Amino acid sequence: MADGASDDAVPDGALEIDPSLLDPSSGLFAQPFFLAALSWRVIACRRVLRPLAFAVLEVVDGLPEGPVVPSDPKVVTAMIRATLRTSDVAARLADGTYGLMLEDNPEDGAVWAVERLRRALATRPGGRSLRAGVACYPGQALTPTDIVQAAQAAFATAREWPQDRIEVAPTTP
């Protein structure tokens, strides 16, 4: 590894990732790279006729009562890495939320993936709550921009609830 690089498990044969592509507080991908990758993945999924799920989520301490404080990004990152498949891509978005790109997953698979993450976080001490919005290609949207907007709208609805909530964007006609 290069000087200053972390020893965090780089799989055998994997390329080292340029640190400028990563969020410094979590070690996950940063938003610009993540959204560019989403565009590429939607194009690939369209070509091979496979679904792709996109989720926006937040993990907070203090729900359902009391003040809400964002959970430690290192704890959330560790749980994301332990829970998701290696083919899935996670990022820390500019507003402090997290984005998940779940390969070959329709909405029910995406909900189960986020639910596994929620359960894993619930086993850790600290009283964390997870709220998420999920949208999928092609069920809820056909373009990367529409997928992000649909997931963000579902996330906004999930945030209206005072407890854990995973909300799925409505299906497009």
119-128 confidence digits (pLDDT tens): 998 888 777 8
Identity of residue 55: A
**Rg value, the chain, Cα:** 16
Q: What is the mean pLDDT of residues 116-121?
A: 93
CB 99 within 8 A of CB 31: yes
Identity of residue 110: A
Model confidence, pTM: 0.86
pLDDT, tens only, 41-63: 999 999 999 999 999 999 998 75
Q: What is the mean pLDDT of residues 85-102?
A: 95
Query: Looking at 25-29, 68-72, 84-88, 129-133, which range is the least confident one?
Result: 68-72
Task: Answer yes or no: is pLDDT of 85 > 70.
Answer: yes
Structure tokens at 47: 């070509």
57 secondary structure, DSSP code: E
DSSP sequence for 85-143: -TTSEEEE-TTS-EEEEEET--HHHHHHHHHHHHHHHHTSTT-EEEEEEEEEETTT-SS
Q: How far apart are CA 36 and CA 14, in angstroms?
A: 20
Q: How far apart are CA 147 and CA 76, in angstroms?
A: 23
Task: Answer yes or no: is pLDDT of 64 > 80.
Answer: no
pLDDT, tens only, 142-170: 999 999 999 999 999 999 988 899 999 99
**Residue percentage of the chain with pLDDT more than 90:** 71
CATH for 25-168, among 3.30.70.270, 3.40.50.2000, 3.40.50.300, 2.60.120.1570? 3.30.70.270
**Residue percentage of the chain with pLDDT more than 70:** 88
pLDDT grade, residue 6 (50/70/90)?
very low
Q: What is the mean pLDDT of residues 95-100?
A: 96
Separation of CA 152 from chain center: 12
Task: Answer yes or no: is pLDDT of 69 > 50.
Answer: yes
